[in-house]
Structures are given as C-alpha cells and as structure tokens.
Structure 1
Amino acid sequence: MNYNYNKLLQPIKINGMRLRNRIMMSGMGTFTPMVDGTDSEEGIRYYEERAKGGAGLIMTGAMFLNEKTAQGGPTLALHSTRAIPKATVLTERIHRWGGRICLQLSCGTGRNGMPDIGERVPISASANPSFYNPDMICRPLETEEIKDIMKDFSVAAQFALNAGFDAVEVHGHAGYLVDQFISPQWNERTDEYGGSWENRVRFATEIVDSIRKVVGPCFPILFRISLDHMYKGGRTLEDSMPIIRLLEQAGVDAIDIDSGCYETMDYIFPTCYTGEACMAYVCEEARKHVSIPIINAGNHSMETAVKLLESGNADIISFGRQLIADPHFPNKLKAGHREDIRPCLICNEECIGRIFGRLTQLSCTVNIQACMEGSLEITPLPSPRKVAVIGAGPGGLEAARVAALRGCDVTIYEASDRIGGTFRAIASAPFKKRIRDLMEWYGIQLEKLGVKIQFNTKVSPQDPCLAVADEIFAATGSVPFVPCISGMDDKKVIDVTQAHIQGIEEEHVVVCGGGLSGCDTALELAMEGKKVTIVEMMDACARDVMMINKLSLDRLLAEYKVTILTNTKVSGVTEEGVAVETAGGDKKVLPADRVITAFGQKPNSSVAEAIAEKYPLKTTLIGDCLKAGKAGKAIREGFYAAMALQ
C-alpha cells in the first residue's frame, strides 16, 4: 500500500516553538551523563545524530532535579551552574541541524526508585510500598519538602533557559513521583495535596506554575502523563480527563500521552507482543477534553503515525526506539525512501535491556552505532578488499553490509534459497513482523550496495572462492540441539525451525522446551486455535527472555490458554504422545498429534572451523557458529568484523 507521509512532515507550533515536522524523539534514558553532571561526548553525539537525521523535536531522557531525588540513572546536574556550559554544547549541536530540543524534568521516581540508587528509603506521596521491594515502605514527603521541590523546578527551568533548551517537559508519567501525587491508589494524604482529585493534581499544577514564573508566557511547557494505568485499581482513561483539562488551564502547552505504569511495565517499554500503535487509543477521548497539541507514543510505525495524525486525534508522534534503530528515518521519509528505513525490532534487548540488566549506556540490536556514533563511524577503506561471507544469517548480512559500505567487493554464499537464516525462519508469527521487515531491509540494502548473493551454495575449505578472497567472514549459524531421548525419530516429531518453515496443521501440539523459541512457537500456534502444551524441565518458562518482554509473553500465554508444565522433563516420544516425568517422580504421557522440539541451538561450526584452519590469517568467525545466542549478538559481531578491516 502506498502511503502519503506529508502529514508527518508538516510543521507545527507549540506555544512559541516551531517544529519542522511532527516527529518527536521520545524521552529515553541513555546512561551517558557523567559523574560531574554533564553529558558525555557519546551522549551529545547520540542526540545530535537524531537531529541531523531530521527529527523535529528531541526529548532528553528524564533529568532529575538533584541528587537527593535522583532515584534512577545518571543525569544532568540541573542544580549546578557548572553543568550549563556542556548542556549549551548539546543544544547548539541540535540547533545546528535545524532541530529543537526539550529538557525533560523529573523530581524523582518515588516508589519506583531503582534499588541502591538515591535515598535508601524512597520518597513518595504517601507511605507506599517500594515497587522493587514491597517490604520497604516509602517515606511520605513533608509539606516543606514539597515547597523545596517547587524551588528546585524553578532552578531547573532557569538552567533550561541558560543552556538554550527550546522547551521543558514535566515528567508526570509511569507512576513516578508526580504520578504518585495525582493517583488515588498512591496518594492517601489528608493535607492540601491529597483527598479530592483537584488537591491531588495540585502538586503537578504548582510545578507548572513554578516553571512558568521563570520561563515566561511564550516558552513551551509540555507535560508527560499516562492516561490509563491498565491494571485493576489504577487510574483509568475516564479518571484522567479532568486532570488533563486542569493541566491545560494551569498553562501546559502540550500533553505527551500514552498508557501504563510500572505495574504494567510492558507498556512503559512496549514489546513486540503489544503490537504497533498500542497506546494510540487514549488520544480520541483526550482530544474531546483539551485544545492544546497532543503527542502520542507507543510502538508507532510510520504508517500508524500517519493514520493517527490524519484522524485528528494527535498532532505529534513520539518515536523512541525507532529513532535509536535509524536516526535518519525522518530524512529518508522526506526524500521518498521509505524502503531504506531500518526497522526497530521492538525487542528491548540492547536499549532498556542494557540499562536494566547491566546499568550501562544504551545501544541497539540492529544499530550498533547507537551512543557510539563518533567512535563507530563507518569510513571507506584505503584499499578495499574482496570479501567472502559464508552464511546469510543476521551476522553475515551485517558484516556484508558494513564491508560494502566501506568499499569492499562482497559476495555472500548461502546454503538455502533465501537470506535470514534461522532468525528469519522462525519469524512467522504476527508479533514477529518487524523481523521480517528487517530481513527485507537487508535484502534491499545489499542489492543497492552491489553485494552479490549466491543461494543454494554450500562452501567447503577447498572452494576457489575462498582462495581468491582477501577476507573471509564465516557466519554458518547454529543447528537444533537434540538430546538422546527415545522416539526422536518418530514421524510426528519436528524441530522448531522446521515447524515454522513447514507449518503445523495438527490440533494437539506439545512443545518440548520452554525457552523463548518454544514459548513464541506455542503462542503462535495457540493464536491459530490449536491446543498447545509446553514442557519445561526448569522451574519457569522463558527464563532467557528479557524481563519486560516476559510480562507480555506470560500474559498472552495465559490468555490463549497454553498449558505450561514446569519442573517436568521429556523422557520419550511414544505412539500416543510425549512421555514426561515430574521432579517428584510422577510419570505420564501427554497426548500429541505433533511434537515440536525446542531444546535450544548448538553451533554449526565444523565448516567454519575447517575454513579458519585452512585460512587462519584471513578468516573471522561470527555469531552462532562461535556460540549460539540471540540475533543481536550476531549482528554486533558482524558489524565489528567489517569495522576491523584495515
């Protein structure tokens, strides 16, 4: 279908700020600020690249007022004039490309404070249990402390003016401290900041007033708020309407809206399972209650963005991880090259996953340059090489792409009849659409770069193509691991990759193995109406799934009535089905018309190692043929292999 993206590319004004288009970069923590409260060169270059790529408005990640309230990651020191000069460098480098930049202000995460960061006992509106440790009860803020916070917002607003920011946004989102005052489930105060909904919103409106007194009438103030907490007992869409009306009356110039909170964290960081435009539904009702511009986030594609803008229910679309994956997508749209936009996989693995899991700066599964734009700039080789790539999985494709960008003559040798390897083969479910999009993108980019692909070609160490190559990238991938269990040769047994390729027609299916691949396959089949059972020997399924993604996956597995047997091992396949044994020693046979093995993958390394042995000085092994892992690992290794050429 042909889309007209002009609506997304039209200018718009928020109070006195004119934006060149309707594309906003979402506020996302980067973990790039340094201990002195200034952003690093990596962080500045990261934001600059998105402005250079054409985004109309760059939103910083949440910046905390001071160290006391900063119960999250590293932040700009808004309370210190020493941080202003470097912040000015940031804003000037955004302006240099025609973009605008908004400083997102937060007085803290409150009960959502990360463990061991900030105050030992978190602050909150009331004596709420800490999100991460319910046994720890938060300390309610005293009235005088609230007054001090208002002063801190005034200081932060002056910081924004001095550093040259074009707007500020109040972070009242995600169940953070501001939201804890607004929401009745977290606010049990009996003073002027509690009780009626007007009193509960007082904390937020006083923040807006504190900022407005500093910045004046024409400087834009945005407010980020979740309109639907999406859990029983949380604030509903209906509850939020008088709140946003009051915020407009208080002087807010635009509202940045979606849904979710930490109790429904997979909407704070939407997953592939929640789908595209998963929070656009809040805009229609909001439009009835406010006249100021509405900004919406939530797994938008360019197409869902246009649809929402054309409905009139939103004015600006907020793209987060898509701008991490491809910082230049606005300019590509403007130039009429939608096909060149690298899709975000919505995988959460290398962005929020790195921050949550490793407390390190964000990156991206498909864009290895994210937050490393300066040091990982792709430059031509002084003497281009002839490169042979063995295998067209994600690692091989990325190695070929980057080598070609560096001027190399690249040929891929692929044993099957298409690119993508196992990664593409298992991407048949509706919720894996972005993987299919990525493979299509690789195909287009490699064709444009002149990379030659020889399909249905198995390479051995003796082949002449290896002898004439200057560099060899062996990316032969992995193969299914099959344990020594009786009945594995039964005709109803199929490995998980072939199950995706061939399809499953049978009604009763048992999936042996409850890792990500097994669970995704079970969910896909259950969505087709099949009766599916997962057998997993560990005490929980999806242990290899990123925590936020697991919330969505577990919910959908329950919704589609997938039977899950944990602490249960497969002892054999029989004529009737699958013989299993529980940890307690109970044995039974699960009836099955089809048995899918998903015991994991092992390196397909024999050919790669033989090639490396014959050509040790010019062979690099990439991805699963070294160690089976996720696609992001293979893409990263492919990128580095091509970047290492000298």
Structure 2
Amino acid sequence: MNMVPELHPLFEPITLGNVTFKNRLAMAPMTRSFSPENVPDAVVADYYRRRAAGGTGLIVTEGVGIDQSAAIGDGSGTSSRIPLLHGEAQLAGWRAVVDGVHAAGGKIFPQLWHQGVFRIEGTGPYPDAPSLRPSGLWGPDGGFSTVSRDYIPRVIQPTRPMTEEEIADAVHGFAKSATNAKAAGFDGIAIHGASGYLIDSFFWPQTNQRVDRYGGDMAKRALFGVEVVKAIREAIGPDMPILFRFGQWKQQDFNAKIAETPDELGILLRALAEAGADAFDASTLYFSAPAFEGSPLSLAAWAKSLSGKLSMAVGGVGLSENLFASFETGGAAVENNFFDAAERMGRGEFDMLALGRALIADPDWPNKVRRGEPTLAYSRDMLGALA
C-alpha cells in the first residue's frame, strides 16, 4: 500500500508486552451506550470490526463496567446500555467483538471502568448499592465543566467516604474483570484512571481528602491506583500488556490538576509503572498542548520521560476542534494536524497516537491518511448511531 512518506512514523509496528501492533494508531475509548441490557451485540461487534478493517492497529473499547455493584449507573450515559465484563451473555458478546477485530487484523483492549462519584445513587444494575467516593466529595461546584446543571444537584451533596472494605472490593472487581477479559480473548487491558472517575478521584486532592493511607501527598493518593494495577497484573500474568489512562482535567473542572509539577506527576507514574503498567494513555483535550509552564512538552511526552514506559497521545487528532468545543459548535472540520503528530512521534516525544471522533466520523481514517486521501468531517449527530 502506498504511503505518504512524512507519515511513516505513524505506521511503523510497535510491541507492548507480548503484543505487536501493525501501526501506532489506536482507537480512543469513547462511551457509546449502545449495548442492550449491558451486552455488546452484533451491531457493536461490527462497529469495532470496521475500525480495525479501516487500518487502526489497536482498538481500545468504550468504558466497560467492572464486576463491582456500584461501577455504573446513570450520570454517564444510559446505564442499561453500558457494556459489562461479567455475566455469560456479556462475555459471549465480547468474544464476538474480539473475534471480529482479530479477523480484520487489529488488536483490542477493554477499558475497565468504575464511574465512582459520577454514578447517581439508586441507578444502574444494582440500584441498592451505595455509590463510591474516596472522601464522599463529588468535587467543586462552579468549575469549568460541561456536565448539565440539572445533574449537579443530584450529586453535589457529600456522602460518606469509602470504607477500606469497599476499597478492597473495588480493587477485586477490577481484577475479576481483567480475568474475564483474558478469558474472552482480549489482547491486553486498558484502565480508566482519568476524567474524574473512581481511580482519578483518589489522585485529585479536591476529591481525596482522606487522612488514612489512601490520602495525603501524591504517593499516598496514588495507592488505590497502584493496588488496582497490581491486582490486575497478578490476575492476567506477566506478559499481557496494561495501558493506563491518566489526565489532569476532570469533568467536574477542566482546569483541574492532579499534579502541579512534573516531579509530582513522576511520583504517580513511576508508582503505577512499578505496579505493572506497561504504557500510559495521556488524556488531553489537544494532543500537542504543553503540559506544564516553562516547557513545550505535551503530557504524553512527560509521561514517557517520567515513567520510562511507552506513551500514547490523544486529543483533537485530525480535527479542527477539541472534544468539548465540538459539542458547542456541533462538529469539527478536517485538519491535517497528524503531520505534526507524526513529526513528534518520529523524534520520540511519544509512541502511539489515539483517535476519537475522527474514527467515529470515518472508520477508514488510517487507510485514507496513509494513502493521502481526504477524510470525513465530524458532526455531533454522528454520536446518535453506530456506523
């Protein structure tokens, strides 16, 4: 297949753990809520298969509710249509998804997800289960956020903090779901540790004000995430790769930070790497934005430098608007910023590049870009259907 020479870094193979990807392009995890009764069906399987057939090397699924009673509920999508990774029907559905992606030449990781503070009490498959928050805090009201104003009154009141028994149960839920993922044939595990969800709410001082071993400085706030990674590593063995998503911004406040300095971020990432994470997915609104004042380095570049592990950049690839700007404008035009991404990858700033809305708009994006063909623009209306 002919290839635009300047884009060669994006299409080189890369190996993570015991898995080799045919190129450096990944599908970013994006909640779609299209799994009836929490079971991925043939439509979902075809959705992922098409992106693999279109040339994407790694598929990271939408967030998948882990095997813990408070993992999902209303507040982030429609809980009855968020896929789970436990139950006979669910695992059968995921096996069909995995088989389709493999047949199309791709690899696939499930993104293990616990909504944490975003689950509304009394919702989800287990409505009687209490929602889980490190310190009982949802986060600050009035932060720069796109969550609906009618949602915040339902979650803003403090609740009781998680008990250590509940912390252990959540860790076990991640491990059980990782075991199920391996049995279903997935190639690796992705962990959602960003966006203000459960793991991230332990990292963020605004939502973690515990005074026990899980709260305090960055090393202590990292402990829950470290325990999750360790438990998953023990469950799946030494070779199956683990990709950990982290980020500064939160849905509660896009200006939030878990780390004020690179040194502080390094404490977190090195702890996760030592626990068993093989690579870091640096969640940002724009892939090349500088992460800290005084340096041009992106968050993915800092992740690679600080952890010594592979890193993946994400945010606005191939489009003119970042995620939340496109919500306001109704879409995003095509932009050839992937040439900048390829140059950065070529000089070692990061190792992989994740695409979100660009792959919703155009399943064949990788193959088209490789050949120098035009890709499709993104419209918010595309979120309403799987294609």
Cα deviation 1:283-313 (Å, max 9, x = unaligned): 3333321221100101013223212212311
List aligned pairs for 1:431-510, cutoff 5 A: none
Pairing partner for 2:116 from 110, 113, 116: 110
Cα deviation 1:314-350 (Å, max 9, x = unaligned): 100000000111111212233x2x2332233xx5x23
Cα deviation 1:473-517 (Å, max 9, x = unaligned): xxxxxxxxxxxxxxxxxxxxxxxxxxxxxxxxxxxxxxxxxxxxx
Q: Distance in 1 between matches of 2:306 and 2:348?
A: 13
After TM superposition, give the deviation of residue 135 of structure 1 in Å: 4.1
Partner of 2:136: 127
Report SS of the residue matched to 1:139.
coil
Partner of 2:381: 350
**Given that residues 202 and 224 in structure 2 are in contact (C-alpha distance below 8 angstroms), is that contact kept between their aligned partners in structure 1?**
yes
Partner of 1:254: 279
**Given that residues 26 and 352 in structure 2 are in contact (C-alpha distance below 8 angstroms), is that contact kept between their aligned partners in structure 1?**
yes
After TM superposition, give the deviation of residue 6 of structure 1 in Å: 1.0
Report SS of the residue matched to 1:124.
coil
CA 1:114 to 1:145, structure 2 compared with 1: closer, same or farther past 3 Å? closer
Pairing partner for 2:229 from 189, 208, 211: 208
- Residue segments in structure 1 that go unaligned for 5+ positions in a row: 260-266, 268-274, 352-361, 364-369, 374-646
Q: Percent identity?
A: 28
Q: Distance in 2 between matches of 1:316 and 1:290?
A: 15
After TM superposition, give the deviation of residue 143 of structure 1 in Å: 0.6
**Given that residues 154 and 210 in structure 1 are in contact (C-alpha distance below 8 angstroms), is that contact kept between their aligned partners in structure 2?**
yes
Q: Distance in 2 between matches of 1:321 and 1:42?
A: 18
Q: Which amino acid aligns with 1:60?
A: T
Cα deviation 1:591-614 (Å, max 9, x = unaligned): xxxxxxxxxxxxxxxxxxxxxxxx
**Given that residues 310 and 350 in structure 2 are in contact (C-alpha distance below 8 angstroms), is that contact kept between their aligned partners in structure 1?**
yes
Q: Which amino acid aligns with 2:176?
A: V
Q: Distance in 2 between matches of 1:114 and 1:33?
A: 20
CA 1:147 to 1:252, structure 2 compared with 1: closer, same or farther past 3 Å? same
**Given that residues 277 and 299 in structure 1 are in contact (C-alpha distance below 8 angstroms), is that contact kept between their aligned partners in structure 2?**
no
Pairing partner for 2:359 from 320, 323, 328: 323
Pairing partner for 2:369 from 333, 350, 366: 333
Partner of 1:31: 33
TM value normalised by structure 1: 0.49
Partner of 1:78: 85
CA RMSD of aligned residues (A): 2.3
Segment of structure 1 superposing worse, 218-227 or 304-313:
304-313
Q: Distance in 2 between matches of 1:113 and 1:277?
A: 31
List aligned pairs for 1:159-558, cutoff 5 A: 159-227=180-248, 231=255, 235-238=259-262, 239-259=264-284, 267=285, 277-278=288-289, 281-301=298-318, 302-334=338-370, 336=371, 338-344=372-378, 349-350=380-381, 362-363=383-384, 371=386, 373=387
CA 1:237 to 1:88, structure 2 compared with 1: closer, same or farther past 3 Å? farther
**Given that residues 103 and 165 in structure 1 are in contact (C-alpha distance below 8 angstroms), is that contact kept between their aligned partners in structure 2?**
yes
After TM superposition, give the deviation of residue 278 of structure 1 in Å: 4.3
Count of residues paired in the alignment? 334
Q: Distance in 1 between matches of 2:35 and 2:359?
A: 19
**Given that residues 297 and 319 in structure 1 are in contact (C-alpha distance below 8 angstroms), is that contact kept between their aligned partners in structure 2?**
yes
After TM superposition, give the deviation of residue 228 of structure 1 in Å: 5.6
Report SS of the residue matched to 2:244.
strand
After TM superposition, give the deviation of residue 78 of structure 1 in Å: 1.8
Q: Distance in 1 between matches of 2:172 and 2:376?
A: 44
Q: Distance in 1 between matches of 2:266 and 2:287?
A: 24
**Given that residues 64 and 112 in structure 2 are in contact (C-alpha distance below 8 angstroms), is that contact kept between their aligned partners in structure 1?**
yes
Report SS of the residue matched to 1:123.
coil
**Given that residues 23 and 57 in structure 1 are in contact (C-alpha distance below 8 angstroms), is that contact kept between their aligned partners in structure 2?**
yes
Cα deviation 1:559-581 (Å, max 9, x = unaligned): xxxxxxxxxxxxxxxxxxxxxxx
**Given that residues 30 and 43 in structure 1 are in contact (C-alpha distance below 8 angstroms), is that contact kept between their aligned partners in structure 2?**
no
After TM superposition, give the deviation of residue 65 of structure 1 in Å: 1.2
Q: Distance in 1 between matches of 2:241 and 2:94?
A: 18
Pairing partner for 2:24 from 22, 25, 31: 22
Q: Which amino acid aligns with 1:251?
A: G
Cα deviation 1:530-585 (Å, max 9, x = unaligned): xxxxxxxxxxxxxxxxxxxxxxxxxxxxxxxxxxxxxxxxxxxxxxxxxxxxxxxx
Segment of structure 1 superposing worse, 283-292 or 143-152:
283-292
Q: Distance in 1 between matches of 2:180 and 2:257?
A: 38
CA 1:40 to 1:310, structure 2 compared with 1: closer, same or farther past 3 Å? same
After TM superposition, give the deviation of residue 54 of structure 1 in Å: 0.8
Q: Distance in 2 between matches of 1:50 and 1:331?
A: 10
Report SS of the residue matched to 2:111.
strand
**Given that residues 249 and 257 in structure 2 are in contact (C-alpha distance below 8 angstroms), is that contact kept between their aligned partners in structure 1?**
no
Q: Distance in 1 between matches of 2:268 and 2:156?
A: 31
Segment of structure 1 superposing worse, 195-204 or 97-106:
195-204
**Given that residues 228 and 236 in structure 1 are in contact (C-alpha distance below 8 angstroms), is that contact kept between their aligned partners in structure 2?**
no
TM value normalised by structure 2: 0.80
Q: Which amino acid aligns with 1:242?
A: I
CA 1:115 to 1:9, structure 2 compared with 1: closer, same or farther past 3 Å? farther
After TM superposition, give the deviation of residue 188 of structure 1 in Å: 1.0
CA 1:233 to 1:223, structure 2 compared with 1: closer, same or farther past 3 Å? closer
Higher relative contact order (CA 8 A, sep 6+): 2
Larger of the two Rg values belongs to structure = 1
Cα deviation 1:177-236 (Å, max 9, x = unaligned): 101111222111122211232221111111111111111100001100004665266543
**Given that residues 280 and 303 in structure 2 are in contact (C-alpha distance below 8 angstroms), is that contact kept between their aligned partners in structure 1?**
no
Q: Distance in 2 between matches of 1:215 and 1:129?
A: 32
Partner of 2:6: 4
Q: Distance in 1 between matches of 2:339 and 2:271?
A: 32
Q: Which amino acid aligns with 1:255?
A: F
CA 1:48 to 1:139, structure 2 compared with 1: closer, same or farther past 3 Å? farther
After TM superposition, give the deviation of residue 277 of structure 1 in Å: 4.1
After TM superposition, give the deviation of residue 52 of structure 1 in Å: 0.8
